[in-house]
Structure 1
Amino acid sequence: MTKQAQYTSIASAAFNEYLDNQIDLPVLISRLREIELQVMHDDDEEEETDKVLWFRFFEGDPLETSISDIEKDLSDPVHPNSRILLQGIALGLEAGELQVHYS
């Protein structure tokens, strides 16, 4: 159970609201955690607890960015990782390439 296409629109909406300064980081993380809880609930292999929700923001994105990675990187807006992540999110949303995965 890896790609979660049915949650892409919900995640995209949350990321767009964050980029548009309609929600702050804690609200973004909360919404992403809600998606993760729903995916965990839907997972037939419940005994595996080491699975996490992660994102690919654009085609060719080599990273598997978890919610914890997002929270850590965006919590320090002046850090280069924050700017890189924000650019990746914006690029992926603009191109419609955001992917939600769970593994």
Structure 2
Amino acid sequence: AEDPDRNFAPMPGKINFFHMPQGLGVRFDTHIFTGYTIPSHYDSLIGKLICHGNSREEAIARMKHALEEIVIEGIPTTIPFHQKIMDNDKFIAGNISTHFIEEM
């Protein structure tokens, strides 16, 4: 629950609707649920989406699909930010550095 446009500021609030992505090579570790309130005084990490495949291309394709499937309504999330990363030519090619996010 962070806002990338505000330097990844924490965004507490209530989750009005939550749908978890699923499928082969997709894992989402979380503690949230529809109706859960993210407190302002706690870690803003609400979940970790992990995708794998037999190749980089397959893993990226699974991640793109999972990012399209996941729904978290009621709070800002980093989902659109991660979708931008998955569409970035440098990321797709694996041609990135530790400054990649700053350079996007």
Q: TM-score range by the shorter chain?
A: 0.3 to 0.5
> RCO (CA 8 Å, sep 6+): is it higher in 1 or 2?
1
TM-score of the superposed pair, with normalisation by structure 1: 0.35
Compare the two structures and name the one with the higher strand fraction.
2
